[in-house]
Amino acid sequence: MSTAARYPFSAIVGMADLKLALLVNAVSPAVGGVLVRGEKGTAKSTVVRALASLLPDVEVVAGCRFSCDPAAPDPDCPDGPHPGAAAHQAQTRPTRLVELPVGASEDRLAGSLDIERALTEGVTAFEPGLLAAAHRGVLYVDEVNLLHDHLVDLLLDAAAMGTSHVEREGVSVRHAARFLLVGTMNPEEGELRPQLLDRFGLTVEVAATREPAERAEVVRRRLAFDADPAGFAAAYADEEARLAAHIRAARRRLPRVVLTDAALRQITAVCAAFDVDGLRADLVTARAAMALAAWRDHPEVTSDDVRDAARLALPHRRRRDPFDAPGLDEDRLDEALEQAGADDPSDPGDGPEGPDGPDGPDGPGGGGGGGPAPQPGDPDAAPPAASGPERPQTTPEDTPQEGGPGGSGETAADPGETYRPRLLSVPGLGSGAPGRRSRAETPSGRTSGARLPRGRIGALHLPATLRAAAPRQRDRGRSTGGLVLARSDLREAVREGREGNLVLFCVDASGSMAARQRMRAVKGAVLSLLLDAYQRRDKVGLVTFRGREAEVALPPTSSVEAGARRLRELRTGGRTPLAAGLTRSAELLRVERLRDPRRRPLLVVVTDGRATHGGTDAVLRAGARIRSTGVETVVVDCEDGPVRLGGAARLAAVTGGSAVRLAELGADALSGLVRHARRAA
């Protein structure tokens, strides 16, 4: 879509905090970007793409593929050197918004070397990637939580160092890669790696408005845009121009903004009060507060600037595990500001700004309390909290213990404490999405062999290439000089790493589990396995069975947070339809294999092995079906007491899997058993 037809930023209804976070980064890219979290269909991508047309143009060295600044060209630029770039060598172009697809390859992101030309012609032919294209611009990643780990590693390196390195068999290329990182994600599809999460300066939680009038206005504007994109954009052209001018003016004011000692104490007190890790939160909050002050035309950082900066910079940094909901307690925030002496009667934090400049009543920096003014058609006069609407957390205390659809014997037990479980993996060598569970052939990892190239070579196996070329040197007429190589000599490296799997939990929620008060330990064990699945980059699913049937409590997803929520809400009681649980699991795995054939499944059945509904023959048939599909199965034996019937072990034998007792599921317990066996031997 052309710039003229892009949806106007000022035409977007609501989402004041998201717009404010993007504008803060437009004023000061050093803030570090924005992560936008929200449910599907909330126009996250539309808002981000609309920002591009507001960003100031940049000057670049003419013909440089790496967007070098004529005033300070990169001395290591592969297209350089650009010594003393004169004015006639400079050209002005719009700031780029570069989109990184989730399925991009490593070469597409970082760039690639033509290994064949490097070896046969002795030249370094480098093709820049998206990191080079995004230099001095915006790098946008939609569905950033689904990005593969090897791409995340490259992004982390570039974001930390401001440079990109491409290494291929001793040939090295380095170029500058400083960009504004913007990502959008739906939390239902999984969380983001903590290392990358911390690299985003600000985070915003967005949700669709529940006001009918506001929803109607959103639909009205979208339909008008679809009918006439150019005409719709033209209607907001003047407002877009004023907003762009305001960004340029704020950038000029930013170096003159004063961060007083009092404001700095407020920032550090707030970060300490919320117990965030490291000092990056303090730096980001300080930079964001200064950018807000420049945006609002404050000569000094005010308490309102600090408060709004903290609301945007801290929610994603206070999480301690993936089951914690992101957000910020604003009462605690106010208390921390007050304790740091935030109340200053001379604070000019409420200065309005308008459309004709920083002092007008309706401008982009207006709105009481130092926040942004609503855009046309936006009925809200104040921005919502950055942490978004509070999600109700269902706890066992909130859930009725008796009655309900399952009968009067239902219970909802609290989960036990989580722990580090032993590694459960799929045997053999897979080729699924990179992760940390089972052995697999992956784009990155240790080199385990070589093979003939399959298309373009990504990683050259140099020793194998030389071994293939050596016997043919005499036939190729070589007498002296370098090695004579041909395309047929080239070998690519086979790399072995780890993959993520689909871990499907089939959990017995029958009365036999509740009667012995084992469900608390079972829930703690499954929560531990869910946390392990999050850390190993797995997809997870949950099937439960009780009464007369089984149900899919959680379809396969990357969101372990959703899995934990469903598990906490799990009620127990009734008979044990073990065969129904196995049959439902087998069917779900069959469908998922059609959707994602490369992701290998791991079925974890959590049960005591009893089947009080459906009969033993049905269990044998269901187990044999699972065995025939080759699905790796682990049966977690929950049976306890002095008399053990061994049903879980027999189930493991039927499915062709292995059994592990609940008490032995922890990694520490396994280590203790190994030490005990060694002493006994």
Tally of residues, the chain = 681
Q: Where are the beta strands (DSSP E) in 33-170?
A: 34-38, 58-61, 90-93, 97-99, 112-113, 126-127, 138-142, 163-168
Alpha carbon distances (Å) from 38 to 15, 185, 322, 368, 394: 11, 6, 16, 26, 20
Q: Is 280 annotated as catalytic?
A: yes
Alpha carbon distances (Å) from 671 to 426, 489, 660, 668: 20, 48, 14, 5
DSSP tag of 422: P
Handedness of CA 256, 56, 109, 41 (dihedral sign): positive
Selecting among 280, 520, 575, 627, the annotated active-site residue is 280
Residue pair 243/12 in contact (Cβ under 8 Å)? The answer is no
Alpha carbon distances (Å) from 478 to 102, 118, 430, 487: 46, 19, 42, 16
Q: Is 238 exposed, middle or buried, given 0-12, 13-18 or 19+ CB atoms closer than 10 A?
A: exposed
**662 Cβ contact partners less than 8 Å away, ≥ 6 residues apart:** 518, 521, 522, 525, 636, 637, 638, 640
State residue 58 phi and psi, 5-degree precision. Answer: -120, 150
Rounded Cα gap, residues 391 and 384, in angstroms: 15
Rounded Cα gap, residues 234 and 249, in angstroms: 23
Rounded Cα gap, residues 606 and 546, in angstroms: 13
Cis peptide before 364 (omega within 30 of 0): no
Residue pair 340/271 in contact (Cβ under 8 Å)? The answer is no
Residue pair 357/376 in contact (Cβ under 8 Å)? The answer is no
Rounded Cα gap, residues 308 and 368, in angstroms: 13
Rounded Cα gap, residues 336 and 340, in angstroms: 6
DSSP tag of 301: -
Rounded Cα gap, residues 654 and 230, in angstroms: 65
Query: Which of the residues are catalytic?
Result: 280
